[in-house]
């Protein structure tokens, strides 16, 4: 399971084995053992198994649990609010989100979900194309 998940995570981020090795070496410079593209290729082909330390580095790098990476769990669950407020680096496209960006995204999602909750009808069903209408009849707003 580990080789499949590692390959999927790497390809999902559109990075080569060389880029992953370099990124791991930059992010974890305290490790005296440097990662190489051939090492990562051996892991993805199941020829070799990484150490606990290497699995931990990969899990931190891809922001997944070690259990997910090694196949102990099949679904990775994230609380997006927690992810947005953590200190890990988050990017969207080519943009790195700073703390203010994260707060704004959090507020946008929170507002969206709050508005979505209000759209449900009394019987619990959501209308197919519900759109709150804006009343532009200024006569209704006499002061």
105 contact partners, CB below 8 Å, separation of at least 6:
84, 97
Return the CATH number at 25.
Answer: 1.10.260.40
Tell whether 49 and 106 lie within a shared domain. Answer: no
pLDDT digits 0-9 by tens, 78-129? 667 777 777 778 888 888 888 888 888 888 888 888 777 766 655 566 555 5
pTM of the full structure? 0.52
Q: How many structural domains compose the chain?
A: 2
Q: What is the maximum span of the chain, computed from C-alpha positions, in angstroms?
A: 77
For residue 65, what pLDDT is reported?
Answer: 86
96 forms beta bridges with 91
45 occurs within a structural domain: yes
């Amino acid at each position: 399971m580990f080789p499949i998940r590692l390959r999927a995570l790497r390809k999902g981020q559109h990075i080569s084995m060389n880029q992953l090795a370099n990124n791991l070496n930059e992010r974890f410079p305290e490790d005296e053992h440097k990662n190489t593209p051939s090492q990562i290729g051996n892991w993805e082909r199941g020829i070799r198994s990484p150490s606990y330390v290497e699995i931990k580095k990969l899990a931190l790098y891809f922001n997944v649990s070690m259990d997910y990476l090694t196949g102990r769990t099949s679904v990775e669950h994230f609380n997006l609010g927690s992810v947005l407020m953590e200190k890990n680096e988050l990017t969207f496209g080519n943009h790195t989100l700073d703390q203010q960006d994260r707060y704004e995204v959090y507020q946008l999602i929170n507002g969206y979900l709050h508005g979505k909750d209000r759209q449900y009808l009394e019987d619990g069903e959501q209308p197919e194309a519900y759109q709150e209408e804006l009343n532009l009849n200024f006569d209704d707003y006499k002061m």
